[in-house]
Each structure stands twice: as structure tokens, then as C-alpha cells.
A and B are shown apart, each in its own frame.
Chain A
Amino acid sequence: MNAPTKDSGLAWVGRAIRRVEDPALLAGHGRFTADLPAALRVRFVRSPVAAGRIERIAIPEGANVVTAADLAALKPIMPALHKFGYVPIAQPVLASGCVRFVGEPIAAAVAASEAQAEDIADAVSVDIAASAAVIDAGAALADGAPLVHAQAAGNLVVEGKVETAGFAAAQGAAHRLIAIELRSRRQNATPLEARAGHAAFDPVSGRVTLTCATQMPHLLRTAIADLIGMPEGELRVVAPDVGGGFGQKMSLVPEYVVLVWLARKLKSSVAWTEDRRENLIASFHSRDQSVRLQGAFAADAKLLALSAEVVANVGAYSCYPTTCAVEPLMAMAELPGPYDVRAYACVARGVLTNTCPMAPYRGVSRPVITTALERLMDAAAAEFGMEPVEIRRRNLIEKFPYTSVTGLIFDAGSYQQTLEIAAAAIDVPAFRRRQQQARSQRRYLGIGFAAFSERTGYGTPAFAARGMGVTLGWETVELAMDPSGWVEVRIGASPHGQGLRTTIAQLVADELGLAPDRIKVVHGDTDRTPYGWGTFASRSLVIAGGASVLAARKVRAKLKKIASHLMEAAADDIVLTDGVARVAGTDRALPIETLARAAYHQVHLFKGEIDPAICETATYDPPGTFSNACHACIVEVDPETGRVTIARFVVAEDAGRLVNPMIVDGQIVGGVAQGIGNALLEEIVYDEGGNILTATLADFLPPTSREMPPIELLHLETLDGTTITQAKGLGEGGAIGAPAAVLNAINDALAPFGVTIEEMPATPRRIRAALRQATKKPR
């Protein structure tokens, strides 16, 4: 069922064909938002303080500056969630009355050039009566802490609780109780293209086109039209080439609302290009979570019961559409991971602070909970005196479908097998010998594993269970063949680097018997594509790809019917292959373009039995599927400097059918790089007053080529028919597993010193601080 990569038996699916996206991007012909000319440029005036009341905004004479007073008719951003006591939080598009984080937009300066707009913004003077701010989640939860929003008592915006029946008894029966506390510090997703928006008014139609760096054009259209109170038909949203997103571009951006409002008011084109400092300070942040786990283990190291306490610092506002509850609640639902545990208790809190709002970032909570759970497994393995591989072997799920303790249904996967092949590839016994030898030379090597699941490609059932105001999930695809026999696939997903134009063309090519270069995938334009939810949550290939296949099958059926009329054969005997419709077992054949032309120009031949034209629509709304993987890595820690060097990194991954193995590998390696950044390097640091100390890329450190080890990739393909294409999502797995593998390896390396690191990033400073506490002298 899951032998390593095998022949799909299909002409195009499974082949590492080169991406159709590449030639334009390589030639410098990419079209990114900031490339568009605009009559007017905007610079936002942002709050320099974390909390306070706006007393006065002084605008230079004659300057065009917009404030909240101008936008009084606009509704605030207020996403809904109907569960777990979620407190609705309103965010005015521009700060109104008070400010709640450093970087919050207060005013928009408009001028003919960016430089002029910056000069005006600098000249706007804002008087703010600063008040006490809370920055850290622990401080925000303390008694008497200042409230970020008056209606959220104790700064608690959501509190999820779950406890299975008989939990205490299950825990009480344990042979050993093992606890771990993990903290993952704050990050910024840091797409290389920061946010950018361009809103242009068309005097003929009265419509506005908002071109912007977004992952969700349709939902953005709905949200902005709602806030402004304009008919949605008067707004077109275009996502052109988008320079990475990783979740940061999947939420509603208040600045874009201002741009649309300005374009309508000034009847002009208005653009804003975020600079990197703004992005690091005021675009969405991520992570900043603490997880306390207690595992109750039987004498044979089987996990009997798991309890968890999750605290997520969600910042000052709640992001649309997911709400800020997405992080703590996903942590609660998915914390038991791929382990067979039947007793579970969890409290997951979302805590408001005077910091930049949080939004989903590649992995959403799972990098943190996976690291916590995998640290627990390693801590338990050490207690039981067994190898990390052995304790995982005893606890990973192996019978499918598996219904988790939180009610998630795991479709077939290869949890045990990916563990075994990763362990074999990294050769644990040989490593242990090397580790011993190295220690005798005062060199400290460590090995770390991370076994995990990646929930992907889920539709409305999963989103409905979350209780959000917007139930996301399905995708609709419109597939048209024009009279020349060329195909256009219009999708609501909105890729921005994932190569979906290539992979969807591969899927459709096999259904229609055409080469992929005859199939053009159109995305990222609300005027040209059916309503859809965009690209995030490892969903697009599964859901938009599945819908594309369904639509292609309808077109295939129609082409066969046309061919049966034209060649006087039974439709069932027609085979579409290599661009030709053939009558099976004969030499009779017609090029597909002849069928296409007939569908438009020769309809009289069909005697009313076939409708004119070729355009089919299909929707796919799947329950969801789980990819799985095991990461294994070897590090060396220099105890003198605290420096960590990753020597090897193995990924054994199962994402079902690999539509394009080259793109799959690219997604995994890219995800691992971000996970390594999470584990070792990246941290947004606030001072006590709520100022960001890491406002440049010289302070906030994404990995470079120098920090990246070679990533060794192994694939299994479990094909059990859970999804239409047999493919599972895999965009986030790299980022989910890598932090745990790296942190476990560091702790294994530090074992001789008797200290542990339970905080990410595990910077040299933190490692040195831990080593200074060491009581043991290394052997």
C-alpha cells in the first residue's frame, strides 16, 4: 500500500515536469503588486506606543491625510467564533480613540510619490496619552493586569477545555508521570515580498480593482465590501504574482480597506508598499505559545493519558476570517498527534496583549505542540532507558481509520513505517557509537526525532466544527475548452509559489488525454474565477485539484459523447489519449480540437442531444486527510559558544500520491528551512514597553544557505482513496516537524551536562545560559 514512489500508471501525474510558472519569473517578467504604476502613494502613520489614548492628530496644512474620523462610516474588523466563550474583538480600520500595539495604523498620508507620502507621514504629529501595556501572556493573565479590550475580562479572549470521561483514573493508573514545559517565542512569517496593495478606480464602470499580495482574493473582496458597505460587484480583487505568504497574507489587512476607500473617494489609483520594518512590526506575527504537558505512561512505556495546558499570546486584535482563537483551539484539537492515547485533558487559552496581532503561520500551532509532544516522548524515553525510536514505535497509531481521542479521523498512513525508514537512514546504532567517541573528545553530538501527522485538505465539515462566522472549505473549479481545443481551468485557490498552475495542469492532462501545455490554469482574479477560499492550510492541490479532476471528468464525458456522434461509435468505446479521441480497437480517430470546434460550430450534428459549448463546473468539499512524516536529525552543540550545527537531516514523508515529485521536495525542504529558523534563529523581541527590538532582518534572522544542512528525503505513498487525486497536502509538514527534531537533538547532545533547553529559538545565548546552570560534569 505504501511502497516508495511508484509509477502512477498515468501519463502526467507523478512526473517531475518543469514548472510553467518559471520562465516569466526567471526573465524578470513577474508581475508583483508593487510593479504597478499608481497616481498616488500612501504611507501609514503608526502608533509609537503600545497602549494609550489618542488625544490629538495634527496634520500639516494642505496635506491629504486620512484618519479614523474620515472612516466613521466603515465597520470595524470583527471576526466571529461561536465557541469556547470567544469574546468578539473589534479592530477599527484606522486606530480610533486608542491604540493597542506599536505599529497600529493611525492615519494614511497620501501624495504623488512614496517619498512625499513619507515626508508627510513624518510631519503628522500624534499626541497619545500612554497607558500601561501588557506584553507577555503571563503578565496579561495576572490579577489586576491592564485590559487590552474592556470586554475581555482577564485578557482572556477564548478558553477551550476538554476532558475525557475517566481521565483522572487513567492518569492515576500510570506507572510514571512525566512533565514537560515548552515555549516557542514569537515569529514573523517573513515572506520576501512584504504586503503591498494597489487600488484603482475605473470611471467607466465605477468599480475598484484592488491588486494585492493576498492568499485569499474572494474572501478579501467580501470582507472589504462588507466593511465599506459597497456592493461586492463593485470590487474586483486581483492577486498577481505574490512573493510568498506562509499564512501572513491569508487574513484581512486593514491597510487594504483604506486603499479601496481612498480609490473610491479620490477616483484615482492609490498604492501602498509595506517596508520591511513595517512588516516586522505591524504585519501579523505568529507562534508565541507555551505548552505544559503531562504524560502518564504505563510500565511498558505506553502513553495512557495526556494532559495539556496551552497559552497562546494572540496580540491586540483578532484576525479575519480564522479569529485569533485558531492557534489555541487547533492546539487543543490536535495535541495528541499521531499517538494512540485514549485519555486526554486540555485547557487552551488565547490571551490578549498589547502586541502585534497574530495570524496563522505555516503549521499553525502544530510546530509548537509537536515539539512539546516530541520533547515529552524523549523525556519519557530517557526515564524508561530506551531509545527515542522505541518509545515512538510503541505508541504510534497503526490501525486505520483511527479515531483520535478528540474525534479526528485519521485515514490510512504510514506512521510506523516512516519512523522505521528514517531511523534506518540515519543509522541510530552507528550514531550512538560516534556519539560516545565524540564525547571522549569533548564534542557533543545529539540525535532527534519528530514523528507527526499533518492534517490537510479539509473542507466544510472540519471548518464547521470550529464554529467560525465563516465556514471555509470547499473549492469550485470551472473548466472550459475553447473552440481551438485549448483548456482553461479557473480556480478559486490562489497559489503564490506552490506551482499549482503546473500540478493542476498535470491532473487535468491525464483526465483529458492532452499535454499539460494545452491547459492554462487561471487564478487570483475575482473577475475570472469562481468564488473560492484561496491557498492556505495545505489544501489547494487536494481540494482545488480534486475539483479540477471532477470538472475534467465532466468535460471528458462530453468530449466522448461528441466523438461518438462524429464517428458513429458508442461513447463508451471512445478513448481520449495524446490529444486524440480514438474508437477503441479501430483506426478511427479525431483530434480533440475537431471535437472542440464541433461543440461550438457544428452543434446541428448532435440533433439536440448535446448542449453547445464546453464549460463544466465542479465542487469538491472533502472531509480531510492526514499526511504523516518522521524527521530525524543529528546536531553538534559547541558547549563553549552554544552554537548548534546540523550535520544531517532526514525526512521520511507520506503525502499519498506525489503529483509532481520535484515540487513536493521543494515544499518539504522549504518547510524544513522555516522549521530550522523556528528552532534556532527567529525571534521577534519586545521590550517591556512593547517596542520591537528586532525590526530589521539583521535582528530577526531567517536561515541563510549557510545554516541549512542538506535535507535527505524519503517518500512513501499510501494510496487509500481518501481524496479524489490520492494526493494529500504537504505544504506545512516541513515546518511542523523540524523544530521538534532539532530541539530533541540539541537536548540529546546536552544530556551529559544534565541540562535541557525547552525554549525556541534555542539560541547560543539560551544554550550557554542552560550550560552555566549545569550541575553535572560531562563524562
Chain B
Amino acid sequence: MAGRVLDLDTPAWPDTYGTDAQPRVGFFTDTSVCIGCKACEVACKEWNKVPSDNQGFSGESYDNSGELGANRWRHVAFIEQRLPVGVEDGAPDDLVAEAARQNLVEEGLDPHRDEDGFRWLMSSDVCKHCTEAGCLDACPTGSLFRTEFGTVVVQEDICNGCGYCVVSCPFGVLDQREGDGRVWKCTLCYDRLQGDMEPACAQACPTDSIMFGELDELRERAAERVEVLHERGRGEARLYGEDPEDGVGGFGAFFLLLDEPETYRLPPAPVVPTRLAGSVWKAAGAAAVTMAAGIAAGFLGRRD
């Protein structure tokens, strides 16, 4: 990753907290054991009193809640795919068989169960609580702040509904709540953390797909887990967001995925907009100077 053009770090955790600073906590969501039960979504809604919204059917497999937003702070993705075998309808049987074989070889899909490569992937998505959080940097009121646990939280009495964090999040996590105008997102159960309890979603997860803990420890656990999966022949297992060298300085809530991030509605290589602030402001400054000089130049020359 290239260095930053302009260093715009604002002092935050742990510096501003002094002795009150707590170890940084987060989630490690291991999607290889997620069963798509959505207990995390329900627990989150109940504990945080998040309003209900869409009650209909989406037509997107067993996912009727779509994506993260103001009224959904945990979202379980339910990927149901018949992987395209890469041949046109009506192709000769031997070509279809060859394509199915490729599915088996490349994806590890078992054609005995379903010959055209059917699969389910499940994953519980959440705010990433980035080390370099785009929403926090963009917030013009200081409503978004970093807690003593290193997490990122919106203060609802300060949020003025400007919506700038919405376009600054590389993950599309934050959104405005209808009728309210303010922005809401996962707090990593800030209130529960202060009471020395684990977040509601992690407590409700029946398979421990959602693991809560100190970030350093979670990263170690994740590295071990991905190694185990690789040993078992699940070469597609990969960690997502665990690297402090990535475009957001590492996620506070990171994942073990079984396919490319895009499949889960996740960006493959997110970069916090703040890292590009140097070139943004340089261009805006140069344009301002050019404009002023251009207008002044318009007054030169003949006078009629």
C-alpha cells in the first residue's frame, strides 16, 4: 500500500483515553460455520431496539432483509447459487459433464449432490469498525467517535443527518433512518461492553460463527482456523479484513470467507477516502487558484 499523501490522523483511541483506554475489541466472523439462522439479526434488533422494516419476500434465497442499513446492524447474507457451468443451454452432454467436473475441481463442489453445482454460502455481515474509519473522518459534527474500546459509534444527539458518512463508508454500512433523518449503525453494543458483557449478536450465535473478543487474540484465532481449513482441503477459505496493512488499517470486525468478497457484497480492496484526501484537496486548491487567476485575467487587455 502506497503511503499517504497527507497525514490527517486525528488523535483518538487509545491516546485520548489515557488510563481509561480499554483493549481494542472486535468480531471475528467465521462464515464457514455460519448456518444462516439469523439469530444475530434478531438479537441485535431486540437489544438495540432497532425498528423493523421490510416484512416482504425479496426473492433472494433465504434472505429477506437484504443488506446492512439504518435498521439492520447485523445482516445474514444467504448466497444460493447454481454456479454457471459456462456452457450454453442445449450444449452436448459431454461438454456439460466437463463443465461440472471443473466445478468439482476448482470449487470443491460435489457433483454427487447436485450436478449443476448448487451451493449455499452464509455470512453474517456487520459494521467493520475500521482502524481508519471513513465515516468517522467524514462526520462534520463529531457525532461519530471512537470509544475507549477502539470501536466506532454514532452519538444520536449530535448527528445532524448530513449523510456524508453514508457515501464515505467503503462498505455501505451506514444509512439514514426514514422519518428520523439521522444515521444509525452497529455500536458493537457499546452499552453492553461498558457493562462487561459481550455484544448481543455474538452471545446469540449458536455455532460461534460470530466470535467476540480482544482484536489481537481474534486475529491469532483466525490465522489458526484458516490453516485448519486449508489442511482439510478447503483452499478457498481466506481471511478478509484481518490485515492492519490494508486500505482501512485493518477491520475491527473481520471475516473468514469461502469465496471472493464480492460474492458477499463486500468490496475486494476497500480504501478509506481519507487516504486520498491529499490529492482531493490539492486539486480543489489548484482549481480555486486557477479560477481566481482566470477571472482576473479576463479583465486584462482592451477596454471598450
- Asked if A and B bind, the verdict is no
Which residues of B are at the interface with A, using a C-beta cutoff of 8 A?
none
